[in-house]
A and B are shown apart, each in its own frame.
Chain A
Amino acid sequence: MRKLDRKLFRDLSKLKTQAIAIGAVIASGIAVFVMSLCAYASLKEGQNRFYRDFRFADVFATPRRCSDALLHRIGEIDGVVLAERRLVFDVQLRVANMVEPATGKLISIPPQGNSRLNQVYLARGRMVEPGRAGEAVVSEAFAEAHELVPGDSVEAILNGRLQTLHIVGIALCPEFVMQIQSGTLLPDTERFGIFWMNEQDLEAAFDMAGAFNSVSAKLAYGANREEIMDRMDDLLEPYGSTGAYGRDENISHQFVNDELKQLRTMAIIAPSIFLSVAAFLLNIVVSRIISQQREQIAALKAFGYSNLEVGMHYLNLVLVIALSSMVFGVGFGIWMAKNLTVMYQQFYKFPLLSLEIDPIAILLAVVITFAVTVTGTWFAVWRAVSLPPAEAMRPEPPPTFRPNWIERILPTGIMPAEFRMIVRNLQRKPFKAIASITGVALAIAVLIVGSFSLDAIDYLIDFQFRKAQRQDLTVGFVEPATSSVVHELSNLRGVTVSETTRAVPARLLFQHRSKRVGITGLPPEPELFLLLSETEQRIVVPENGIMLNSALAGILGVELGGTVRAEILEGDRPKLDLEVTAIVNEFGGTNAYMRKSHLHELLGESEVASGAFLKVDANQQDEVYKRLQLRPGVASVSIKDAAIKSFTDTIAENMLTMRSFNILFAVVIAVGVVYNSARISLSEQSRDLATMRVVGFYTSEVSTILLGEITFITALAIPLGCVIGYGLAWAMILGLATENYRIPLVVNGSTFAFSCGVVVLATLLSGMIVKRRIARLDLVSVLKTRE
């Protein structure tokens, strides 16, 4: 080993605690980076493979009833590779040991054994066999939620007749990687399941022989999707199609894509925070080493070492720290990605989700670590090596101090000498002070960003499901029901309040933008389904015009008072110009509302209802479920509280895992910054502190100076960290907002307190480590040497 390298390793061993603290920050940043990109690659690859191998369709359309004869005309549209017909019906289910109703989506399987598009991947059991009535393959998520195995059965109400579905297999499908009932926001695997059944069974039950009510199409590579969808609409609109839609409107697909988007955001934001903190830490440590070794550098140069050799020596010192931490970071990142992939496998239903180690991510990790290290330290190294040896031989000029503004505004004599020392030392190195404060603030921000989503979701649930939606049950009818049906329903024993709605599919257009939505007609002053403004004020449903929720208004780019064109996709398909009379605050979906009576008028229909909201006497809940199930006109019943519970249970676990990682990372940053900053102050001031010890100050009194500095940094970092955290939370919400969800920007006081508390504890921990070093100061040697 060259002697200069030996010096490097000996210097390094003296620095080991600091090196570990910095290394942990680098490793954390690289770990999150590698984890995000590898998890992204794994999920993307799993998604692509499943979509490709099981032929997930590109375009879908749902006519009410269309003759099979039309299918080949869809297949002939230029760019359509394959079009497939099928039958899809939502029905009510009865599952053993569950009183509440569940909804099943029944999908037909053609006689050849599997569909040609949106194919079923059989996880267990077998496919349904043509000719064997009542057989069904069930989606894995629903099977797991109810512990169903092949051989079990569930009951379903098909077109008013109770029928037993014999489960023969358990399956997955690219169309339902995530199982969410349309119209609901939350996945609820217990109350929503997919059942694939023989085509003949469904044809017979729903009287659909020779007809279909769902068509999916695979397009040629590079085909013009919009044009194909327009052609499909031309063909299918006469048959009650509400408009063709692409894969991107499939909720399951959107959910997976949202997650992918999140991973990409995470791969950029988190490592930027960690690595900029690391660059700063490397900078202050190297600057300190260089100023301590000024005379050694001079000697090396005097003896003929070149600037480059001396510079590389110090650069190598930090590269050893950085690159070895990077190796840990990459390993830890891959480990986290593996765990995340396992979690995805449980959450999303893919046949196989294997860990993909993205070689580009690892290559990038090396490049980034290298770049951060060099940029963080280059200036300090260069300044040191470019000093002429004769000048470097002389000690550094003494630091200059001056009284600062804080002292000028405070009356003289009020500040103890220790406090003056703290303030002046911080002021002498403003870059270090500001960067330390920012570093600690970032640790607080990391915690806030990692924890606030719980607050936001609490608020979202409270706003959306307690303040706005006050119903217990939502009932959907198979066909729009007459007022007598509605009357019967409201007189059902156990129902305390009922409110009917009329929903129609429509395409809304404003300027060049358009969006397919449902328009829901509501009574003038709904009691169970309230529309609220952003300030939680109740909105009275105006007589005319249309109300849009904020997400929809944003997509269309329309403001209050603007006029949108509404193309109703049902009945006579009228095209109407409607004024936007209110913007409704909602956190999910893209919804439009209007006065129900006005909707009837525009559609030229009598008073009918497509659904109802019910408030139910808590003691008679179970009976109400049973009575509802027996009613033929009822297509679906969803229970609000059950859906909320299922949702919170699912996310709570994931969030706790993420939160513990965030705490770990924030502590790494806080300790990294506070410890290094204090350690360097100790090294710079050890002579002063030892002198104070010699002249009669106790260890505890001397510690006040360094601990005071740490306290000062943390105290200033707290408000800054709260502001940065709030800002990052805001940026994250904007970045993650999708059509399905908008997360409200809500950060509770307790989250701020928790985040600051963790960082204060990390500060105390660093303080204790530094204090032990003060007790070990060598009093005699510092008096004998000039620094």
Chain B
Amino acid sequence: MNPGEAAGLPTAVFQVNQLTKTYQMGDVAVQALRGVTLEFMRGEFVVLLGASGSGKSTLLNIIGGLDVPSSGQVLYLGNELTASDPVKLTRYRRDNVGFIFQFYNLIPSLTAKENVELITEISASPMDPLDALELVQLRDRANHFPAQLSGGEQQRVAIARAIAKRPKVLLCDEPTGALDVKTGIVVLEAIARVNRELGTTTAVITHNAAISGMADRVISLSDGQIASISQNEHRLSASELEW
């Protein structure tokens, strides 16, 4: 256990130091990240804001263990993530990270409950899958297949799937990107509730500035660098957001 955690003090879940990432796209080298340094605190709700190509997805993929940086370092609870091999990264994702994607990425051949169970089956101390669905208010749709659910419902199943293993961090990449405003609000409420009730460190990527109102901290990225970081005095609820 981390000493800070024992003391109940705000602890950095992630420490990101001088992170760079360069993609080779044919003959062109694309610099997606140009030396990003920041920290994510325990239980914090962070919104990463930026235009497309600003590097926010690359950052999220690296801290989620899906990608490796060109240089720099990511520490997760003091352990160096960037030094891990693919098997260790899989283990890390399996035990610690919940993902929510723009296009839900549910398994179409499994029902809502089964999609959640897919994760609880490989977790050490998961929730009851139905409780996870309850948390996103979809318990009554548990036996529906993804094709039988609306977009918002599918995204809430994805949230239930992500949190059912009680992850320490929840990483959301444009979770409302494919949804209309009304449905987007429902989904954001579900994410906020998980953050509030389970204390899960939550990072949400978006290019929709309105969502920033929900965050503890808003980090703006531009051209692979941090443009600004702002702290919200009061977090708004999703329904209070003005799109």
Q: Which residues of A contact B (CB under 8 A)?
A: 397-403, 416-417, 420-421, 424-425, 428, 687-688, 691-699, 701, 779-780, 782-786
Contacts and interface: CB of A to CB of B under 8 A. Distances in A.
Contacts of B148: 400
Given A417-B118, A694-B93, A784 B57 contact: yes
Contact of A784 (B64, B102, B109, B110): B102
Given A401-B145, A417-B121, A698 B107 contact: no
20 contacts: A398-B146, A399-B147, A401-B108, A416-B121, A417-B110, A421-B109, A428-B109, A688-B107, A691-B106, A692-B107, A694-B105, A695-B93, A695-B161, A697-B90, A698-B87, A779-B66, A782-B105, A783-B101, A783-B105, A785-B103
Contacts of A779: 66
Q: What does DSSP make chain B's interface, helix, strand, loop or mixed?
A: mixed
The 5 nearest A-B residue pairs measured at CB: A696-B94, A424-B109, A691-B105, A696-B93, A398-B147
B118 A786 contact: no
Contact of A400 (B98, B145, B178): B145
B90 A688 contact: no
Contacts of A428: 109
A428 B90 CA distance: 30
A428 B110 CA distance: 12
Nearest to B143: A403
B223 interface: no
Nearest to B116: A417
Most buried by B among A399, A692, A694, A698: A694
B110 A420 contact: yes
Contacts of B87: 698
A399 B108 contact: yes
B232 to A, nearest CB: 28
Contacts of A782: 105
Interface residues of B, number: 38
B173 interface: yes
Interface string B142-180: 000111100000000000011000000000010000100
Contacts of B105: 687-688, 691, 694, 782-783
A332 B105 CA distance: 48
A505 to B, nearest CB: 74
Nearest to B148: A400
A783 B118 contact: no
B97 interface: yes
B121 A695 contact: no
B103 to A, nearest CB: 5
Contacts of A401: 108-110, 145, 147
Given A417-B117, A784-B102, A696 B107 contact: no
Contacts of B94: 695-697
Contacts of B67: 780
A696 B110 contact: no
Nearest to B118: A417
B114 interface: yes
Contacts of A693: 90
Contacts of A688: 105, 107-109
B66 A780 contact: yes
Given A694-B99, A779-B66, 6 more contacts: A399-B108, A420-B110, A692-B118, A698-B87, A783-B99, A783-B103
Contact of A425 (B91, B109, B161): B109
B110 A421 contact: yes
Contacts of A420: 109-110, 114
A691 B145 CA distance: 17
Contact of A402 (B121, B122, B145, B173): B145
Nearest to A696: B94
B103 A786 contact: yes
Contacts of B137: none
A691 B109 CA distance: 13
B61 interface: yes
A779 to B, nearest CB: 5
B122 A696 contact: yes
Nearest to B173: A783
Contacts of A416: 121
Interface in B69-114: 87, 90-91, 93-95, 97-99, 101-103, 105-111, 114
A383 to B, nearest CB: 21
Interface string B205-222: 000000000000000000
A420 B93 CA distance: 23
B119 interface: yes
A49 B119 CA distance: 76
B61 A780 contact: yes
A645 to B, nearest CB: 60
A742 to B, nearest CB: 52
A698 B66 CA distance: 13
Contacts of A695: 93-94, 98-99, 118-119, 161-162
Interface in B169-211: 173, 178
A417 B173 contact: no
Contacts of B66: 694, 779-780
Nearest to A402: B145
Contacts of B109: 399, 401, 420-421, 424-425, 428, 688
Contacts of A417: 107, 110, 114, 117-118, 121
Contacts of A691: 101, 105-107
Contacts of A697: 90, 94, 122
B177 to A, nearest CB: 10
Contacts of B114: 417, 420
A136 to B, nearest CB: 81
A780 B59 CA distance: 12
Nearest to B123: A696
A784 B56 CA distance: 13
A694 to B, nearest CB: 6
A397 B147 CA distance: 9
Given A399-B108, A417-B117, A688-B108, A696 B101 contact: no
B128 to A, nearest CB: 13
Contacts of B121: 416-417
A416 B121 CA distance: 8
Most buried by A among B64, B105, B119, B173: B105
B146 to A, nearest CB: 7
A401 B110 CA distance: 8
Contacts of A402: 145
Contacts of B161: 695
A697 B145 CA distance: 21
A706 to B, nearest CB: 13
A694 B173 CA distance: 13
A695 B161 CA distance: 9
A504 B120 CA distance: 86
Contacts of A696: 90-91, 93-95, 97, 119, 122
B147 A400 contact: yes
A782 to B, nearest CB: 8
Nearest to A413: B117
Contacts of A780: 61, 66-67
A699 B102 CA distance: 23
Nearest to B120: A417
Nearest to A787: B103
